[in-house]
Amino acid sequence: MSTRSELVDGAVHEDVFDRPWPDIEARQLEAARELFVERRDQIPVLRRRADDSGVTEIRTLDDLVPLLFAHTAYKSYPPSFVAQGRWDRLLQWMQTLSVAKVTDVDVEGVTDVDDWMERLRAAGHMVLATSGSGGKVSFLNHTREDAEKKRRHYRRMSGWPFVKADNSRVVFLTSPSRGPNSAIEAAQNSAAVWARPGEAHFLTDEPLRLADISASAALNQRMAEGTATPAEIEAAQAEARARGERMSAAMDVFVDKILAHRHEPIVVSALWAQHMSIIERARARGIPDGGFHPDSLVSAGGGLKGVALPADYREQVDRFYGKVIRNNAYGMTEMAQTCPKCQCGRYHRPPGLIWLLLDRDGERRLTADDGVDGVVEGRFAFLDLLYEGRWGGLISGDKVTIDFKDCPCGRPGPTILDTISRYAQAGESDHIGCAGTIDAYIRGAVAA
Amino acid sequence: MNAMTPTLAPVQRIRHVVKGVVIEGDGPEYGRDPNRFVTPPLDVGALVWPRPAPSPAADVPVDEIIDILVETGEVLKRDRSGLLAQAMERSVEAGFYPRDLVERSFAHLGHMFSRPAMEFMIAQEIGGKDLLDGWREVTTPSGRPARVRAFPCRLLHVIAGNSPGVAANTVIRGALTKGVHLLKLPSNELFSAPAILAALAEAAPGHPLTRCFSAAYWRGGDEAVEGLLFRPQYFDKIIAWGGESTIRGALKYVGPGLELVAFDPKTSISLIGREIFESEATLEAAAVAGAHDATIMNQEACTASRFQFVEGALDQVDRYCERLQAHLGAGGRSASAEPRPIPRALRDEIDGLRDMADFYRVWGGYEGRGLVVRSDEAVDFYPEGKVVNVVAVDRLADAARHVTVATQTVGVHPPERKSGLRDILASAGAQRIVSLGSATPEVGLPHDGFYPLHRFVRWVNDEG
């Protein structure tokens, strides 16, 4: 058994976080070394990175730094490939980031991007799409086995350290039940590990279609070029409105179901804004705060970009659900092995996930010595040792603080503090320049 | 460096100017390390001119104003008080640009107060000094006699900070049109406007013109301040430069009686014809001109070219790219040769493209000495930091579909190609067509589709 699979499989152990992993750093390094030797010749982008940076082997974790991909690598395809239906070329692009051969997938007769994803998945390439800010989605390849291991990891981590996922509950997930999207995959995993048969409730069974996202991006493009007609914009607005109404109606049904089960241990997972929408409906039905079963699991998340919420939305959500279990984990679309949060509010590291803390610019790896008393702030990056389908090394935009000492909860190993934020993007302050793009001129007609 | 106890850069002290008087003092602190700064306490009441009283400069002849402005330019050039040098040093410390570029920009400020330039502006943009100083007699076709005047206004300027020249231009335009002017300082150029207004006060101590200007910083979008100031009883127009958030912020307050004059956010591009491949010399000349236009204010300016459409076969276009990249980092009057690493997010985008050799080619690294991405369609990120996307096209006219209302300057090469393209470009939304290499703007011509002086005044008529 390779060091790598030993570490990844370590997550199935009941006491994975409770016992010390002897020589964990050395073993992670050994696994990274193994993985790089294998992937270097499989993934063209990785090989180029290695050649460019002169990394021939992984001798220390520092050698991984130039090999980390940015999340944008997974959406670096020219948008015209989708807009003009050049599916074979999109496969060529996918190949540059994949381990297995994907260029032989039959794309004859593919009509849209959902169709293209379907063909890949049918061939065993479980490509996931991201939600696609700005209309351009990322495509992340992984294998069927990767997806299974990801679910296995999720089963172990999801209720940790409070309860175990045992398919005993009624589960409420504010996502569509189907669609090739990473958020939907997460919801499906939640349903798979928590729900008893027939009791996984999604907000909607209307599948999420990437073609809708790319159509809205294409419309934005035509608006920028000035070729979109008022009728097209009106149609898009009407469609967005209709979708909004359908979702609102679905939410009414959904909330009724949640409220009906609120005195038993349930699972509710939603974005902050959706929680607020649930609360608003519950209040309209005269439901007081705090009536939920204390063994219920409630998780909240999601960015607040473009969503207007009251300043005290967190407190409101806390009050509404009352004393329930708030399970939480630190992760991202690109990461298979998430880091669950302990009773002390710190995120723990699964053995198969290599944490790399970098300086702000993402160029130098920081260690315990870069901080005071082993507590160091920096940019989060990682190598996820789980993936067979793609390279698992990624640099994030997250600013995290890592405590390299043992956790106050008594468990060994480093932890991430509950202070995760984003490195500020340029232009977020009120620096004013006269240069800008057409985006400012286009009102998002189809932003629903 | 110790990540837990970062060394704190010194806090900058910002000056305000209230009706010609320089205000100092420690009030609120803004910004994040290393760009933290303290402003004097803000007295919102002192920043407005009571409406019943006319502008202090309303009756000052424009020739006298021009004399004062020319003298202001001389004060800036001499800088005996050292205020401009100090403003420059602070601007260097703020670190948005390399020292040499800041030095050249500040050294240029005094020269902007040029008599011929101001005379030309008034002639072009207003139509004569008589319209500023009094009422011009006209007779309508029906025989009605009328008198028209370019009347002073109350203007609130939300200026851009990507060049100190914006503050100088605002003071010149504001003075020539005789209104009252509050300049809202941008956090990326907090020093030039107070220094220029101090020079104005030195050029004409106690003169009514100096009392026409105030400059202050508050956080852009701060409703406590803007909700009070952005009102028709205090100002006639908001002159807003730049970024989407500025314009959207100002729009909230615009309504009857309060007009928005927007120098909207813009992108500039270049169109380069196949003629450049005639000889090595023509190719080199095009690359030099293309690099000049791309690096105006280190590519921070709206006039700086970001996308260059080149007509030719791919191997030809690649030759242009190679030469362009070689010149992008060279520096010049409006660009610094000092490399500044390309922003991280942009590097990530370009990294993704490097891996797609079939579709993109990249010249140059991320250290800030110039980088060119060649593609067959425009990239979907925003090039900055001396980064140019060269797009290969069959015909220059094909590039017109990339021209929108957000396209400001289109540099064309060779210049003979302009006349065949300018109507298509203008129709698509472009505002300024120039010969490649001439994208640096001059005053007295339309800017963003209008004559600024013409909109800095209110046109009033006395009929019958």
Q: B13 or A385, which is more confident?
A: A385
Spell out which residues of chain A touch residue B169, defining contact as CB-CB under 8 Å. none
Whether A440 sits inside 8 A of B406 (CB atoms) is yes
Whether B405 sits inside 8 A of A362 (CB atoms) is no
The minimal CB distance from A96 to the residues B186, B264, B356 is found for: B356
Q: Which amino acid is at B204?
A: A
Distance separating the N- and C-terminal Cα atoms of chain A = 49
Spell out which residues of chain A touch residue B359, defining contact as CB-CB under 8 Å. 78, 89
DSSP result, B11-53: PEEPPEEETTEEE-----EES-TTS-EE-PPP-GGGGS--TTS
d(CA A276, CA A100): 43
d(CA A135, CA B128): 51
State which residue of chain A sits closest to B300, comparing Cα positions.
A435
Whether A437 sits inside 8 A of B345 (CB atoms) is no
Rounded to the nearest 5 degrees, what angle is found at the Cα of A432, between the Cα atoms of B195 and A70? Answer: 135
Whether B302 sits inside 8 A of A430 (CB atoms) is no
Query: What pLDDT shows up at residue B7?
Result: 46
Query: What pLDDT shows up at residue A427?
Result: 38
The ranges of chain B with pLDDT < 70 are: 1-9, 243
Q: Note whether A344 and A408 are within 8 A (CB).
A: yes
Structure tokens at B427: 């129709």
Q: Which residues contact A214 (CB under 8 A, 6 or more apart)?
A: A82, A83, A112, A113, A135, A137
Above 60 in pLDDT, residue A444?
no
d(CA B68, CA B66): 5
Residues of chain B numbered 305-334 and touching chain A (CB < 8 Å):
none
Quote the minimal CA–CA distance from A434 to chain B in Å: 4
Whether A436 sits inside 8 A of B401 (CB atoms) is no
d(CA A201, CA A194): 11
Secondary structure element (H or E) that encloses residue B75, with its range: helix B62-78
The minimal CB distance from A73 to the residues B5, B248, B351 is found for: B351
Query: What pLDDT shows up at residue A367?
Result: 95
Query: What pLDDT shows up at residue B357?
Result: 76
Query: What pLDDT shows up at residue A426?
Result: 39
Tell me whether B7 touches chain A (CB under 8 Å): no
Above 70 in pLDDT, residue A305?
no
Lowest mean pLDDT among A99-103, A227-231, B174-178, B208-212: A227-231
Contacts 24+ apart (CB under 8 A), B362-369: B363/B321, B363/B322, B363/B324, B363/B325, B364/B325, B364/B328, B364/B329, B366/B341, B366/B342, B367/B339, B367/B341, B367/B342, B368/B329, B368/B339, B368/B340, B368/B341, B368/B342, B369/B328, B369/B329, B369/B339
Query: What pLDDT shows up at residue A79?
Result: 81
Spell out which residues of chain B touch residue A371, defining contact as CB-CB under 8 Å. 2-4
Residues of chain B numbered 329-348 and touching chain A (CB < 8 Å):
341, 343-345, 347-348
Give the number of other Cβ atoms within 10 Å of residue B371's Cβ: 25
Rounded to the nearest 5 degrees, what angle is found at the Cα of A95, between the Cα atoms of A93 and A97? Answer: 90
Count CA within 13 A, CB hemisphere, residue B290.
35
Query: What pLDDT shows up at residue B2?
Result: 39
Question: Tens digits of per-residue pLDDT, A421-436?
Answer: 888 653 345 677 777 7
- What is the per-residue burial (b if ≥16 Cβ within 10 Å, else e) of A25-45? eebbbbbbbbbbeebbeebeb
Above 90 in pLDDT, residue A84?
no
Residues of chain B numbered 81-100 and touching chain A (CB < 8 Å):
96
Query: What pLDDT shows up at residue A308?
Result: 76
ipTM: 0.77
The overall average pLDDT reported for chain A is 90
Quote the minimal CA–CA distance from A88 to chain B in Å: 13
State which residue of chain B sits closest to A367, comparing Cα positions.
B3
Evaluate the omega torsion of the peptide bond into residue B441 and state whether it is cis, within 30 degrees of 0: no
Query: What pLDDT shows up at residue B1?
Result: 36
Beta strands in B325-418 (DSSP E): 361-363, 371-375, 387-393, 407-413
Q: Which residues contact B456 (CB under 8 A, 6 or more apart)?
A: B153, B155, B173, B174, B177, B179, B237, B239, B261
Average pLDDT score over residue span A340-352:
95
Spell out which residues of chain A touch residue B264, defining contact as CB-CB under 8 Å. 436, 440-441
Whether B356 sits inside 8 A of A77 (CB atoms) is yes
Longest dimension (CA), chain A: 66
Average pLDDT score over residue span A274-302:
92
Tokens 């390849």 belong to which residue? A141
Whether B358 sits inside 8 A of A92 (CB atoms) is yes
d(CA A206, CA A81): 26
> Taking Cα atoms as reference points, which of A210, A212, A189 lies closest to residue A129?
A210
Q: A179 or A443, which is more confident?
A: A179
Longest dimension (CA), chain B: 81
Query: What pLDDT shows up at residue B409?
Result: 97
Query: What pLDDT shows up at residue A440?
Result: 65
Residue A132: pLDDT band with limits 50, 70, 90: low
Structure tokens at B401: 């579909």
Whether B246 sits inside 8 A of A432 (CB atoms) is yes
The minimal CB distance from B267 to the residues A76, A92, A436 is found for: A436
Residues of chain B numbered 147-206 and touching chain A (CB < 8 Å):
158-162, 166, 186-188
Q: What are phi and psi of A143, to 5 degrees?
A: -90, 170
pTM beyond 0.90: the answer is: no
Alpha helices in B128-261, H assignment, sequence order: 130-133, 165-176, 192-203, 223-229, 244-251
